[in-house]
Amino acid sequence: MTRFAAATCAPVLLLVAAGVLGGVWIWAALAYLTLLVFALDRLRALAAPGDPGAEFPAGTALSVVLGLLQFPLLALAVVLVAGKTGATGAERVAGFLAFALFLGQVGNSNAHELIHRSDRRLRRLGVAVYASVLYGHHASAHPLVHHVHVGTAKDPNSPRGRESFYRYLWRVWRSEYRAGKAAETARRARAGAQGWHPYLSYAAISLAALAVSLALAGLPGLLAHLGLAAYVQSQLMITDYVQHYRLPRAIRANGKPEPCGPQHSWNTPHWCSSALMLNAPRHSDHHTRPGVAYPGLRLDPEEMPTLPHSLPVMALIALWPAQWRRVMDPLADRWQPRPAEL
């Protein structure tokens, strides 16, 4: 657990210093989340996994701490980006990038971990984290749609053939909300559930978060919150795009897709970014064993598709579609020689 705690808590301290003290601490936080993580990833490739059958109470404790820290960090980010701390224009831009990268890489990954837990308190914390960046519906769409239909046309978050990230982003942003709502409504009908629809809860938390930002920094705070949320959401979507590009599930003669296996997700062995993102880059094992806590996820480069660079670097390459296809299409052809169309 030491590497997870160190990788995630160090930027928290830098971001707090950035929000409170400003100046050089803003640049230090941004440098940590970009240059230092990239450099450390180059030093060591593969970190040993924990025992997949073991309990990880320290892992749960870290997830809870990170989940609770989401809200004061978001408030600090809003105040800084809104210009209420006296930061210069360049510092506000750097602060925006630093906080948004943390909320997108660590916050999203941690919320993802929490919504998969069976403990309702942990799941509710994960929902609140997603809803604070105006994406609460992902807590329904991810387990009810993505995990069920990944690699098929029924999953909005699975890329369509050689679809560019920009086309993917527009399509997913519009369709994931509807798909999650339909699946959640159907689940509630089967269970005979009463009370508020979860989507109302997601909206209520999001509105409360926006109201706090408005109270803290007025209209600039509200706009800062919307900008941060948009950036954080885009990081979630580009992660799904990178991790499932051109790895569809074959459709059997009976019209049903083959079971989801290790060959249906891209993975990375880079130790620092993996620790920062709570092993989210070990994506194949998560899809085949979604109930396993993040310290126990395994990585086998022999049977699991592996990306040539760390997940953050691949996300940057995905922003350049022509280069992305040059890098990824030959790799995808090795794993999926059949036409990769959903």
127-185 pLDDT per residue, tens: 999 999 999 999 999 999 999 999 999 999 999 999 999 999 999 999 999 999 999 99
Do the domain assignments include residue 342? no
Judge whether 117 and 67 are in contact, CB under 8 Å.
no
Q: For residues 127 and 112, what is the distance between their CA atoms, to the nearest angstrom?
A: 9
Tell the burial category of 71 from Cβ atoms under 10 Å away from its Cβ (0-12, 13-18, 19+): middle
pLDDT band at 2, cuts 50/70/90?
A: confident
Give the residue from 69, 79, 77 showing the smallest Cα distance to 99: 77
**% of the chain at pLDDT higher than 70:** 95
Do the domain assignments include residue 238? yes
- pLDDT, average across residues 172-201: 95
Within a 13 Å sphere around the CA of 282, how many CA atoms are in the beta-carbon half? 31
- According to the model, what pLDDT value does residue 255 have? 85
- According to the model, what pLDDT value does residue 44 have? 63
| Enclosing domain of residue 174 | 2-335
Per-residue pLDDT for 211 more than 60?
Answer: yes
Query: What's the whole-number average pLDDT of the chain?
Result: 93
Do the domain assignments include residue 282? yes
For residue 86, give the 3-state DSSP assignment: coil
pLDDT band at 49, cuts 50/70/90?
A: low
pLDDT band at 336, cuts 50/70/90?
A: confident
**Cα distances (angstroms) measured from residue 127 to each of 67, 81, 166, 322:** 10, 25, 26, 36
Q: How many domains does the chain have?
A: 1
pLDDT digits (tens, 9 = 90+) for 238-264: 999 999 999 999 989 888 999 999 999
Do the domain assignments include residue 179? yes
Q: What is the reported pTM?
A: 0.94
Do the domain assignments include residue 340? no
Do the domain assignments include residue 55? yes
pLDDT band at 17, cuts 50/70/90?
A: very high
Do the domain assignments include residue 341? no
Do the domain assignments include residue 168? yes
